[in-house]
Chain A
Amino acid sequence: MIDLLAQHPLIAASGALLLLGALFGAVLGYAAVRFRVEGNPIVDDIENLLPQTQCGQCGYPGCRPYAEAIAEGEAINRCPPGGEDTINALAELLNVEPEPLDGEVNPVKMVAYIREAECIGCTKCLQACPVDAIVGAARFMHTVMADECTGCDLCVEPCPVDCIEMRPVATPWQWQRPLPPEQLIATDRHSSEVPA
């Protein structure tokens, strides 16, 4: 056997290559079964970047389905609540070019508000709310838990008496960045205070 291999290096080389191929194939085959990943892990990463308003403005019934669709190749610019930040983050994650937002973005965060005197207790908004942020029961007044409301406005349309409105959320004061010096016009430069 060894003589044969020594005398026919071509056979020896081919045999060795075949042997290695079979070995690595077996290892890869085992790994494919043993370390199999269930589902698409990128979907979770995409979902973490979405704003979780579950508003359906992207055309999918919630953020998770949209994340799955993006993983399948859907456009990344369908999320108005996320705005440009989300598009940029998704573009970076997926290594694609950011696109302009498909739709209009409302920069002010809104929450639903039920004018409680007008509510007839029909429970239609309860069924529409994707995050169960409306409490109430049939023929009892409903109210929105403002902290849990994502501002998706899915409850506004089903209301038969139009008693739900979207109200802007008062944002608490916070420090603002100084205006960049480029924004000071030349005549103000000699004396202007940096705006507080």
Chain B
Amino acid sequence: MKGNSWALKLSAGFGFIFLYAPIIALIVYSFNESKLVTVWGGWSIKWYVELFQNEQIMNAAWVSLKIAFISASLAAVLGTLAGFVLSRMGKFTGKTIMAGWVTAPLVMPEVITGLSLLLLFVAMESMFGWPAGRGTTTIVIAHTTFCLAYVAVVVQSRLASMDETLEEAAMDLGAKPVSLFFLVTLPLIAPAILSGWLLSFTLSLDDLVIASFVSGPGNSTLPMVIFSKVRLGVTPEINALATLMILAVSIAVIAAIVIMRRQNRFQGP
């Protein structure tokens, strides 16, 4: 067959429109001069200016970034450990349960994750007195929990495709287990960990449902602020904010993809 048929091209076109039309509309309207969201009043960046002067949104953005950074970092460490256990430890009791747990957050409704974590935090507080109340700490714990699953999956698949003779070669050349890990294994799986970190960062930044369950007063994350504002009516300011978030998330996701690609090429025979 020569080239692509018109039917395929048409399907591709529809796909692109469905996926990107809403986002493009949002971006275009964020540059709208008019106060009315749906009425075009000419180009302007005044809503971006106003956005940066809105203290509530700026505070929420800072909280979100902080939580995303900490949870992504914790998830990267814990997820790497989990990935190691799953790919390197032989058969052990509970392996299936653990493997199931790693993939659970990918399919579990967020409402359930949020609710179960809330119940856990409340129970823990009444039993140990920690975490006292709900706020940044509980959101970080909740986000770490579901993000580490993503890191574990990425790291596990990386370890599975890694040539184990590389580690044997390092041992053969005199590397003890600790230096073996830091000199050979870690550098080789670092791209996987980094892309897992980026993925976790964006997931944490995006999350509304779980955060709503486990956050406390004065600790609203950015998605929570947006959601509550939108319920009172969409303002052009929110369009500007949403555009910036799309930009940030796109950069993170593209970076993750590029890192994985480069690494695969590098790893080639």
A binds B: no
